[in-house]
């Protein structure tokens, strides 16, 4: 079952997001799903919110997200964001282009 994942980064901005993407992709950037190297990502959106930055993703399954977290988690910790815990909820309906 697909899951919706939302990360909130209070006090952070685009600089943190860009640093994470740079490390996750080995500096290649993120313009297509293949840039991540982890299968299972359905959608990704990121942007500023009052007081911080938000990332919302849809993953094909909780297992796919957990596999990605093995790479992503240590990067967040290294950038001082070890305490960030995403909100994960089951997706009822997902439509993509």
> Which residues in 69-95 are b (16+ Cβ under 10 Å) and which e?
eeebeeebeeeebeebebeeeeeeeee
Read off φ and ψ for residue 48, nearest 5 degrees: -75, 145
Q: Give the model confidence (pLDDT) of 26-59 as tens digits.
A: 999 999 988 988 889 999 999 999 999 999 999 9
Tens-digit pLDDT profile for residues 52-84: 999 999 999 999 999 999 999 999 999 999 999
Answer whether 65's CB lies under 8 Å from 1's CB.
Answer: no
CA separation for the pair 38, 58 (Å, rounded): 13
Please say whether the beta carbons of 7 and 55 come within 8 A: yes
Answer whether 60's CB lies under 8 Å from 2's CB.
yes
């Amino acid at each position: 079952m697909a899951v919706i994942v939302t990360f909130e980064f209070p006090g952070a901005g685009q600089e943190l997001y860009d640093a994470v993407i740079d490390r996750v992709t080995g500096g290649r950037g993120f313009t297509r799903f293949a840039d991540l190297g982890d299968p299972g990502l359905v959608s990704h959106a990121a942007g500023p919110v009052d007081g911080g930055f938000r990332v919302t993703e849809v993953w094909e399954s909780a297992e796919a997200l957990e596999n990605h977290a093995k790479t992503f988690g240590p990067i967040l910790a290294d950038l001082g964001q070890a305490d960030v815990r995403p909100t994960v909820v089951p997706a009822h309906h997902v439509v993509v282009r």
